[in-house]
Amino acid sequence: MEKSKPISLTKATIGVDIGGTKIESALVRLDGSIATSIKINTPSNPNNIIQAIYALIDGILLERKEFIKGIGVGAPGQVELHTGKVIYAPNLNWHNVPLKELLQKKYSLSVFVDNDVRCAMLAEYKFGAAKNISNFFCVFVGTGIGGGIMIKDKVLRGITNSAAEIGHITIEKDGSKCNCGNYGCLENIASGPKIIEYVIEMLKKNRSIIKDIVNNDLSKINIDVIQKAFELNDKVAIEVLKRAADYIGAGVASLINILNPEMVILGGGVIDASPSLFEIIKKIIFERVLNISKSNLKIVVPKLREHVGTIGASLLIES
């Protein structure tokens, strides 16, 4: 009797993108395409986040038909690259979480962990808007504000793998205290939750169509609602987005004047939900940046959009 030939499985990697509001896991093929993906809300209790990640990975493993090469994880905050430990992720309330160790122990697969925006940057570099671009950086605005920098086709990491923390540059000298412990950080003024917080503050003193959109339930205010109100020429929405754009634009312009990149990619949940915010930020950047720095500069959104983080995380596993 002739022996059956072993089934040849396509190689793929599990990518996990941990965000302040959503966590996504996906099975990513070597060409960057998604075989399957699962997304859930990020648990509010930090102790439940690991269990949520396990559940997502288990769900991917149940459906897989590919040979799994390993697990790549993009985590917000500061990541110790060689150990895969998340040193501090303020928006998750994580301190010294040994993420790589936990995942390797459970799944007996190769695991690599890096900062989430740096992962997104890798995805855009290999498959997206920055393909064939050697010098660029990313700024992602969501629950927090993070960055990633590529110089001469090399990731700029810094001594402690914490380079490009643009969300924690001081943009307002006497500003309020940030989760990181500093004062006046960009993230503490212009991240998604802070934009919404400012809208609610404005609504105490101003008439706005935003209240009508959410039927006076202020807990339903999100960036989509603010964008809709902006499109209806609502004064509160216009002021709030202009304020956020002023701060983000000033921070990004400063980084452009330092690095002189060919491209800047502006992404994240807030930018995805508000095309108007992107356009205002772009305008402010070109107003503020040095003429010589903007002569060949492109400001774009991510090409890979909603799966950019998971695709990038998958690239942490070597081919």
142-165 pLDDT, tens digit each: 999 999 999 999 999 999 999 999
Rounded Cα–Cα distance for residues 68 and 221 (Å): 40
**pLDDT score at 38:** 94
Nearest to 265 by CA among 127, 61, 65: 127
Phi, psi at 113, each rounded to 5°: -125, 135
- Express each pLDDT in 47-102 by its tens digit: 899 999 999 999 999 877 678 999 999 999 999 999 999 999 988 999 999 999 99
- Express each pLDDT in 27-43 by its tens digit: 999 999 999 999 999 99
**pLDDT score at 179:** 86
- Express each pLDDT in 186-227 by its tens digit: 999 999 999 999 999 999 999 999 999 999 999 999 999 999
pTM, to two decimals = 0.91
Nearest to 299 by CA among 314, 277, 270: 277
Q: Where are the beta strands (DSSP E) in 42-115?
A: 67-75, 78-80, 85-89, 94-97, 111-115
Mean pLDDT of the chain: 93
Q: How far is CA 310 from CA 247, 296, 306, in A?
A: 28, 30, 9
Residue 307 pLDDT > 50, yes or no? yes
- Express each pLDDT in 4-23 by its tens digit: 344 345 789 999 999 989 99
- Which 3 state secondary structure label does DSSP give 93? coil
CB of 103 closer than 8 Å to CB of 317: no
Topology (CATH) of 11-122+307-314: Nucleotidyltransferase; domain 5 (3.30.420)
> Please, is 110 exposed, middle or buried when counting C-beta atoms within 10 Å of its C-beta (0-12, 13-18, 19+)?
middle
Question: CATH homologous superfamily for 131-302?
Answer: ATPase, nucleotide binding domain (3.30.420.40)
Q: How far is CA 102 from CA 51, 56, 135, 197, 315, in A?
A: 11, 15, 35, 35, 20
| Segments of the chain assigned to CATH 3.30.420.40 | 11-122+307-314, 131-302
**pLDDT score at 63:** 74
Residue 115 pLDDT > 70, yes or no? yes
Residue 3 pLDDT > 90, yes or no? no
Facing residues of 145 across strands? 141
